[in-house]
């Protein structure tokens, strides 16, 4: 795990008055309440499936559960606020009821949904758009007083594959995060996590460049979330399917932790926890 000498990185999140210590990396398990997320095995739609997936991930050591109801895979179908809310909020309530001690993140770029989710027990907002798809998001999160995951993406899930040109990839992302962090602080957001947005308006080579230089973004002073699990940068590079990409995911999660990632967002919790434990033995 990356050691930092010249700058201070925030190593905790305030979760409803309780401290989540990030000095040891944490694992966020993905629950997709969608019919069309890119990894079929991650989709859960019935109450039974949602509870079973949540229980399994928590038993394997998940520190956070990330619930999302809007598929953000490239070219995914756009759905209405009402449809997203109809899928997501009952799932949040269900998990809160059955697992009251679980830390719940909601994967949404819509401020109204973020607000209702937190009011129903969610603890973290995970926004793929960095506030670009809803101008009310930053102020909403500031008022809610919850941690915010700030991701980099250009365009929308429907257009991002055509927006992979950068004159200076590292420079543009650094500028993006610096500007967004300033706006979030103005809105009163205190706990920020950075997500480079692997696969979101980036091609394969760009994804690997960002992973190689992930530690550079720690100079911004905030923990980094790495969302690499079973993505195209793995299965397309290896000529396999997402279903076959667990081994590749473990390799890249290892690189992410070694380069300073504080949170791994994954479909496979047990394997990610093993990565963190084994790397921890070298410290």
Second-level CATH architecture of 12-280: Alpha-Beta Barrel (3.20)
Per-position pLDDT tens, the chain of length 283: 555 545 688 999 999 999 999 999 999 999 999 775 545 565 677 899 999 999 999 999 999 999 999 877 776 678 899 999 999 999 999 999 999 999 999 999 999 999 999 999 999 999 999 999 999 999 999 999 999 999 999 988 888 988 999 999 999 999 999 999 999 999 999 999 999 999 999 999 999 999 999 999 999 999 999 999 999 999 999 999 999 999 999 999 999 999 999 999 999 999 999 999 999 999 7
Residues whose CB falls within 8 Å of the CB of residue 45, separated by 6 or more in sequence, listed in order = 33, 34, 35, 87
Catalytic residues: 231, 265
Report domain extents, the chain: 12-280
Q: Are 249 and 228 in contact (CB under 8 A)?
A: yes
DSSP state of 43: B
- Tell me the whole-structure pTM to 2 decimals: 0.94
Classify the C-alpha dihedral 209-212-213-215 as positive or negative. Answer: positive
Q: Is the dihedral of CA 134, 136, 139, 142 positive or negative?
A: negative
- Alpha-helical runs (H) found in 187-245: 204-212, 232-238
């Amino acid at each position: 795990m990356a050691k930092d000498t010249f700058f201070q990185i925030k190593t905790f999140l305030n979760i409803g008055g309780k401290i989540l210590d990030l000095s040891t990396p944490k694992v966020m398990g993905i629950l997709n309440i969608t019919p069309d997320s890119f990894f079929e095995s991650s989709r859960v739609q019935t109450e039974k499936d949602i509870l079973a997936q949540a229980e399994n991930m928590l038993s394997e050591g998940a520190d956070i559960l990330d619930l999302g109801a809007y598929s953000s895979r490239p070219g995914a179908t756009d759905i209405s606020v009402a449809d997203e809310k109809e899928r997501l909020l009952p799932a949040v309530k269900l998990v809160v009821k059955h697992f009251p001690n679980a830390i719940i993140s909601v994967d949404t770029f819509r401020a109204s949904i973020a607000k209702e989710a937190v009011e129903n027990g969610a603890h973290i907002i995970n926004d793929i758009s960095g506030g670009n798809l809803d101008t009310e998001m930053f102020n909403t999160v500031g008022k809610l007083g919850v941690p915010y995951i700030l991701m980099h993406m250009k365009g929308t899930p429907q257009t991002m594959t055509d927006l992979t040109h950068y004159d200076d990839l590292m420079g543009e992302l650094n500028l993006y995060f610096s500007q967004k962090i300033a706006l979030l602080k103005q809105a009163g957001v205190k706990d920020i996590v950075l997500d480079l947005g692997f696969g979101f308006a980036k091609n394969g080579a760009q994804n690997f460049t960002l992973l190689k230089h992930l530690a550079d973004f720690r100079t911004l002073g905030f923990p980094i979330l790495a969302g690499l699990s079973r993505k195209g940068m793995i299965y397309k590079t290896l000529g396999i399917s997402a279903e076959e990409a667990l081994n590749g995911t473990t390799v890249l999660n290892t690189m992410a932790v070694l380069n300073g990632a504080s949170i791994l967002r994954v479909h496979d919790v047990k394997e990610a926890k093993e990565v963190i434990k084994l790397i921890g033995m070298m410290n």
